[in-house]
Amino acid sequence: MKQLLALLVFSTIINAANAQSKDEAAVAKAVESLRTAMVDANKAGLEKVTLPALSYGHSNGRIEDKAEFIGNLVSGYTDFVTMDLSAQTISINGNTAIVRHTLSGKTNDSGKPGQVSLYVLLVWQKAGGEWKLLARQAVKVPVP
């Protein structure tokens, strides 16, 4: 009986670990979809990966809702020429995922070339079986 109970506990732990690994992989894929859609200013892709209640915080303190976020990218007001993500961590708690990473890239906001180096916090929510962006906040990486 003890062996059966131990086997059940072990199986439950393994299944939970596999489920989390699958969710982590799905969140990582959603992050990559967001990154690609932002660089490409792909309206359909941005619509697909974000929730209606999106709160998108920039490192300068500006906050955008979903319509402003997508509109500013599509219009070129906000333009990521390149975007590289590193040091990414994903933490999942039920239907919520917290992603942190470092973003570095080249911009061309309203035709003005620039570079960014940011720490980013993303909050994702599982909706309809897909991970969607609910919130984002960035801060500038301090310059030593």
Number of CB atoms found within 10 A of residue 79's CB: 21
The single residue listed with the structure tokens 């906050």 is 63
Structural domains of the chain, with CATH? 2-140 (3.10.450.50)
In the predicted structure, residue 14 carries a pLDDT above the cut 60 = no
pLDDT at 4: 47
> Is 83 exposed, middle or buried (CB count within 10 Å of its CB: 0-12, 13-18, 19+)?
middle
Is the pTM higher than 0.75?
yes
Residue 21 confidence (pLDDT): 87
CB of 131 closer than 8 Å to CB of 124: yes
- Per-residue pLDDT tens over the stretch 111-133: 999 999 999 999 999 999 999 99
CB atoms within 10 A of CB 100: 13
Whether pLDDT at 12 is above 50? no
What would the pLDDT profile of 26-41 be if each residue is shown by its tens digit? 999 999 999 999 999 9
